[in-house]
A and B are shown apart, each in its own frame.
Chain A
Amino acid sequence: MPLRAKVASSVSRTAAALSRAAGRGDGSVIGGWIGLKIDPDLLAHLSAGRAIALVSGTNGKTTTTRLTTAAVGVLGRVATNSFGANMPTGHTSALAKAGSTPYAVLEVDEHYLAQVLEATEPHVVALLNLSRDQLDRAKEVAMMAQLWRAALVNHPDVRVIANADDPMVVWAATPPADPARGIRPPHVTWFSAGQRWHDDSWVCPECGHTIQRSGDQWWCSGCPLRRPQPQWAVEDDGVLDPTGAWHKVMLQLPGKVNLGNAATALAVAAEFGVRPVDAVSRLGAVTSVAGRYAQVERDGRNIRLLLAKNPASWLEAFDMADVAPTLLSINARDPDGLDTSWLFDVDFAPLRGRQVLITGDRAYDLAVRLEVNGVPFQHVRAFGEAVRAVPPGRLEVIANYTAFQDIRAELDRVN
């Protein structure tokens, strides 16, 4: 590593430690930010010599990164940005902190995929899904798919693990070959994890015709784009690998969506030579991910934290949550997106029959939504009030990003 990079890396580690000591967060962003100021190529330097996997998509990035890290861990030490700091500053910080490791698994914000592909030259990239998320500042879905597609064209040697169930991802992962310009598409391995959310992929990104669906299958009515045959798939409570072998997956994380994330993790790890049979037990050791799915005992209540940031992830959260009293908390601060319109893209009907409490900066937006949805609710001003309002036993908490962090802070930054 050049001297400048060494200095930058060391300063970056110190800043992260200071930030943690000062109680100003987990230090995963500030350290990388200072490091990148000293050496803009620091991420590339820190990536050199490591076999790297990137994990990107609208939902499931943090959890899939955690599961993939566990799976690749069969081979040796793995550096990872386990706190969800998923922009280049977070990657820089994570790699600097980890020191020398043969492997790294990095969660990447979907907007930064091109930049991080360029800097880290990964061996594998996993593309999970694309759906609407914070549209007041994020790119709209079709534009995002176009950016991914353009980025992959520049990296024909990267191994792509992509979601066969998401038409936007399939289109992004299959740029057309152009021999005249020396462009060849990357090698793609497809996984199927099921997908509850379809509302961002009714229109074919290739030709504008309607995407038709029947069961698991989907196809464009106007061009050859259709669901590829997946090599990895979720079946019952396990994962089918490309050889047809089925592996039982016993996760501590709830929901079918996490079985899909496990399938993705096994597929990524397989690209490094990890056999699913060796990795599968390690997945079961993952209990919570940066507070997500964490369970906390408080005043006789077993509180479980579920993060849901956009319509697709709310649908998955309802699937994961037990039929139990449920607190919903919504903010609309910068990291959440300022626009709460998406609340009307979520059908809250699965909550009917449960005791529902609402809180957060934008509880009134939620109140209007639930009223129209025919879901009775009770508004509470603070988290503690919600805990007192429910009987002893399970309390499910579903919150969007900063609301989740607020509650996590009340529970002493539970991991």
Chain B
Amino acid sequence: MSTESLRIVWIYPDLLSTYGDRGNMLILARRAQQRGMPVEVLEVRSDQRLPATADIYLIGGGEDGPQALGAQRLRADGGLHRAVAQGSVVFGVCAGYQLLGTSFFAKGVQCAGLELLDLSSDRGPSRAVGELAGDVDPRLGVPALTGFENHGGRTHLGPGVSPLARVTAGVGNDGATEGAWRGKLLGTYSHGPALARNPALADLLLRWATGAHQLPPLDDTWAERLRAERRTAVAAARA
């Protein structure tokens, strides 16, 4: 964690913010503030330089054009690579998850990713739209993932990353695994405000950023009710 406050950067909200992606920034900031951490949030637009000294970087979802443009600008900027080399946390969602890999498809063209995660994405036979659920890698100590997905991509994981979760409902990467992580980098197809339904995942990112082994618990009554309701809905849809 940088010396004075927890710095959270939301990367390119002008390009990559399609499904309430702002939620992840708001949730991280609030959960940090509730633990008494001073927080600084920074929205960096695609015509601005990306600071390399933040603690957490968020990349959201977007349409094909903005995704390709975002990847191009991030490669040219270099700030995110420097930040990762210094141990910053990166959380990528949907298009933002794909572009952390080596390559992805946008408008039918293969585009170079940031090569921060050992994975590549191509087009699936159909669009994956609906509830997404999965059992999270036990090493992360996070309960089941719940979210909503809406993407046409399929993602293939290389040996350099681990799946975030085993899919129990929906498609995720390929119908079997969902998302990926390595070190302090994590990506998911659970789009938009993924952390709203997964407060423990938000806390995982905060622990990575601060080095804290544990954080004081918060009152997550409403989030827990939401999670239970979604779990029931997914089970009912399957029955």
Structural contact, B26 and A344, CB atoms closer than 8 A: yes
B21 to A344, Cβ gap below 8 A? yes
Partner of A208 from the list B23, B69, B150, B222 (CB cut-off 8 Å) is: B69
Known: A136-B148, A341-B148, A368-B196. A203 touches B22 (CB 8 A): no
Q: Of the listed stretches B10-18, B115-123, B168-176, B205-213, name the one at the interface; the rest are far from the partner chain.
A: B10-18
A365 contacts the other chain (Cβ, under 8 Å)? yes
Would you call A372 and B18 a contact (CB within 8 A)? Answer: no
- Count: A-B pairs, CB below 8 Å: 87
B33 CB, min distance to chain A CBs, angstroms: 10
Q: Within residues 164 to 210 of chain A, which ones have a CB less than 8 A from any CB in chain B?
A: 199, 202-203, 208, 210
A372 to B191, CA, bound (A): 18
User: Distance (Å) between the CB of A257 and the closest chain B CB?
Assistant: 22
Chain A residues whose CB sits within 8 angstroms of the CB of B182 once the complex forms: none
Taking residues whose C-beta sits less than 8 angstroms from the other chain, chain B's interface range is 20 to 34
Q: Which residue of A lies closest to B25 (CB)?
A: A344
A136 to B14, CA, bound (A): 20
With both beta carbons as reference points, the residue of chain A lying nearest to B194 in the complex is identified as A341
Q: Which residues of chain A from 324 to 369 have any CB-CB distance to chain B below 8 Å in the complex?
A: 338-345, 364-365, 367-369
Does residue A157 face the partner (Cβ distance < 8 Å to B)?
no
- Nearest chain B CB to A360 CB, angstrom units: 12
**B192 touching A341, Cβ below 8 Å:** yes
Q: Is A412 an interface residue (CB 8 A)?
A: no
- Contacts A136-B148, A341-B191 given: A210-B65 contact, CB under 8 Å? no
A32 smallest CB distance to B (angstroms): 28
A177 to B167, CA, bound (A): 50
Is B82 an interface position by the 8 A CB rule?
no
Is B229's beta carbon under 8 Å from chain A? yes
Instruction: Report the separation of the CA atoms of residues A372 and B21 in the bound assembly, to the nearest whole angstrom.
Output: 14
A344 and B23 form a contact (CB under 8 A):
yes
CB atoms of A142 and B63 under 8 A apart? yes
Question: A345 to B150, Cβ gap below 8 A?
Answer: no
Cβ-based interface call for A371 (8 A): yes
Write the nearest CB–CB distance from A156 to chain B, whole angstroms: 27
Which residues of chain B from 101 to 129 have a CB within 8 Å of any chain A CB? 129
- B30 interface neighbour in A136, A210, A345, A372, Cβ under 8 Å: A372
Set of chain A residues within 8 Å of B13, measured between Cβ atoms: 199, 202
* Residues A367 and B20 in contact, CB atoms below 8 Å apart: no
Residue of A137, A140, A208, A368 near B18 (CB, 8 A) is A140
User: Contact between A203 and B150 (Cβ–Cβ < 8 Å)?
Assistant: no
Q: State whether the Cβ of A221 lies closer than 8 Å to any Cβ in chain B.
A: yes
Residues of chain B contacted by A208 (CB below 8 angstroms): 65, 69
A149 to chain B, nearest CB (A): 15
A80 to chain B, nearest CB (A): 34
Sample (15) of A-B pairs whose CB atoms are under 8 Å apart: A136-B150, A137-B129, A202-B15, A202-B45, A203-B14, A208-B65, A221-B47, A338-B130, A342-B20, A342-B192, A345-B17, A345-B20, A345-B22, A369-B196, A372-B23
Query: Contact residues of A with B, CB < 8 Å?
Result: 132, 135-137, 140, 142-143, 199, 202-203, 208, 210, 221, 338-345, 364-365, 367-369, 371-373
Lowest 3 CB-CB distances: which A-B pairs, in order?
A: A344-B20, A341-B192, A344-B23
